[in-house]
Amino acid sequence: MRNFDVAIIGGGASGLACAARLSEVNRLSAGSPSSQSARLSAPRKLNIAVIEADSRVGKKLASTGNGQGNVSNLNVAPANYRGGNRRVLDEIISGDPYSGLDVFGGVLFCADARGRIYPAGKQASALCDSLINTLTSNGVEILLSSRVTSVVPAARQNANGGFTVVLENGEKLTAKAVVLATGGKSQCKYNADGSAYGLATALGHTIVPLFPSLVQLKTLTAPIKTARGIRVESHVRAVVNGQVVKECAGDVIFTEYGVTGNAIFGVSPAFAGLDFNADPRPNSTARANSTARPASTHNSNSTTRVEELIASNPSPHLCIDLLPAFTQRQITSALKEKLALGTPAQETLSGILHNQLGRAVVKYACELTGVEYPANARLVPPEEVAACVKNFCLNVTGTLGFDSAQVTRGGIDMNEVTQNLESKLCPNFFITGEALDVDGDCGGYNLRWAFLSAKRVAEELIKRS
């Protein structure tokens, strides 16, 4: 039976970062202090294992940010995160947006115009290589294709404590401390099927209900049937129970099931956990959200029929501004000019939007105003068409689920861990990253949590060593 000081279950971003920080102790202890006092104060070498169920570590990290490695964000703030023990969560994630990235020795980082922080080489796989090199150099043992089936704490009368870690093949390891860094339930192609939560529940922990987040959204598809494959830079508002609970600027891509794109990932957390089969109740209370506000259009003085209908929509929906660079008045003026030049009504958005999307918007305006399309499309006032451009509304009917989601909403209840992320129920059992009930916005926030929570745990274990 192999014995370790620390067994880290999970070779993803948080597990690798935790192991890399811990293993720095080994690099320091490998030196040869000249004085006796220096030798006595040198940290003790740690025997560390990273146990990964997959055939290699860091697969999800290597694909993050479309393979470019979006690891943090200049605009980080507590409002970018949900769930968890807010006091501990806010303390850990606050501060310098580059903090936590020093684990990637010698790698340079920079931010883009939206504040997203990447390695200067824009290659996420290089971040994996950096961590793996650190682990290899510092003597960390990496066990691949090794699924953990149970973590058994030593009998409480044993003063030395510790754990027996049982693998699927029957092998048993011992460890003085265990770090659970298995991530969530999202993207099962990375062996993230949620089964690892059972390791925590077996020790008495509670799981906050799990939902897919940062995920593509299913919508009513009739309004976008002819717009499939079209990408547009937009400003998207997520509306739940008549309240705008989240909004994001970025690209929207229309698909056969609904919508995807950066802006959709940005607002998708607003729909996590909703019961899409429930009857919509226009007078019900909106989900608790400090940024919630009444749904409205970008032109608050407008009173078009379209805007009145959209404002009264009781279903969870997206309100998409397809031309955020232009005002409703500017669009109306352009449409009037086109009509005056004899442009067919269904083609009035040609040159303003992609032709297929433009026709879809005109048809949508006709349906909202009760006008037959395309025969009587000219009867729809330009103001109403412009209102549809600024408020293209799609009812949300669901998500593509965990297999497509980037992160998991919910997880191990963070109220059951200390400020150092040690279990309150089982001493020397630590939990990091997405395994806890913390999820962040799209844009590097979740990896920031992964790295900083790993740092918090590693620092505590080093103190104890």
Split at pLDDT 50, 70, 90, the class of 133 is very high
Per-residue pLDDT band at 161 (split at 50, 70, 90):
low
Lowest mean pLDDT among 98-107, 199-208, 287-296, 390-399: 287-296
> What per-residue confidence (pLDDT) applies to 40?
44
Q: How far is residue 445's CA from residue 456's CA, in Å, rounded to a whole number? A: 16
More confident residue, 195 or 158: 195
Check: CB of residue 409 under 8 Å from CB of residue 331: no
Note the pLDDT tens digit of each residue in 310-319.
888 999 999 9
Q: Which two tokens stand for residue 153?
A: 């704490």
- 170-175-179-181 Cα dihedral, nearest 10 degrees: -30
Sequence letter at residue 226: T
Mean pLDDT over all residues of the chain?
90
Question: CA–CA separation, 364 vs 297, rounded Å?
Answer: 17
Backbone angles phi, psi at 407, to 5 degrees: -140, 170
- Find all residues with CB under 8 Å of 76, minimum gap 6, and list them: 93, 94, 97, 445, 448
Contact 320, 367 (CB under 8 A): no
Least confident of 43-47, 69-73, 110-114: 43-47
- Where is pLDDT greater, at 28 or 23? 23
Q: Is the pLDDT of residue 75 over 60?
A: yes
**pTM, whole model, 2 decimals?**
0.89
Using the structure block, give the residue that is written with the tokens 């099927």. Answer: 193
Task: For residues 410 and 185, give the distance between their C-alpha atoms in angstroms, rounded to a whole number.
Answer: 10
Calculate mean pLDDT across residues 128-156: 94
Question: Do 437 and 446 form a contact (C-beta atoms < 8 A)?
Answer: no
| pLDDT exceeds cutoff 60 at 64 | yes
pLDDT at 38: 44
Q: Model confidence over 176-188: pLDDT tens digits?
A: 999 999 999 998 7
Res. 295 pLDDT band, cuts 50 70 90: low
pLDDT for 285: 28
Q: Measure the CA–CA gap between 56 and 191, rounded to whole angstroms.
A: 11
CATH topology for 2-211+410-464 is FAD/NAD(P)-binding domain (3.50.50)
Contact 233, 262 (CB under 8 A): no
Structure tokens at 423: 């279990």
27 phi-psi bin (left φ>0, alpha ψ -120 to 50, beta other): alpha
Q: Is residue 437 a contact partner of residue 208, using CB atoms and an 8 Å limit?
A: yes
Q: What residues contact residue 344 under an 8 Å CB cut-off, 6+ apart?
A: 374, 377
Rg (the chain; Cα; Å): 26
Tokens of 110: 């920079």
**What DSSP line would sit under 396-444, residue for residue?**
EEEE--TTT-SEEEEEE-GGGB-TT-BBSSSTTEEE-GGGBSEEE-TTT
CB 146 within 8 A of CB 4: no
Domain ranges of the chain: 2-211+410-464, 217-399
User: Per-residue pLDDT tens for 218-275?
Assistant: 999 999 999 999 999 999 999 999 999 999 999 999 999 999 999 999 999 999 989 8
**Residue 279: DSSP 8-state:** P
Q: What is the DSSP letter of 69?
A: -
Q: Is 248 in contact with 205 (CB distance < 8 Å)?
A: no
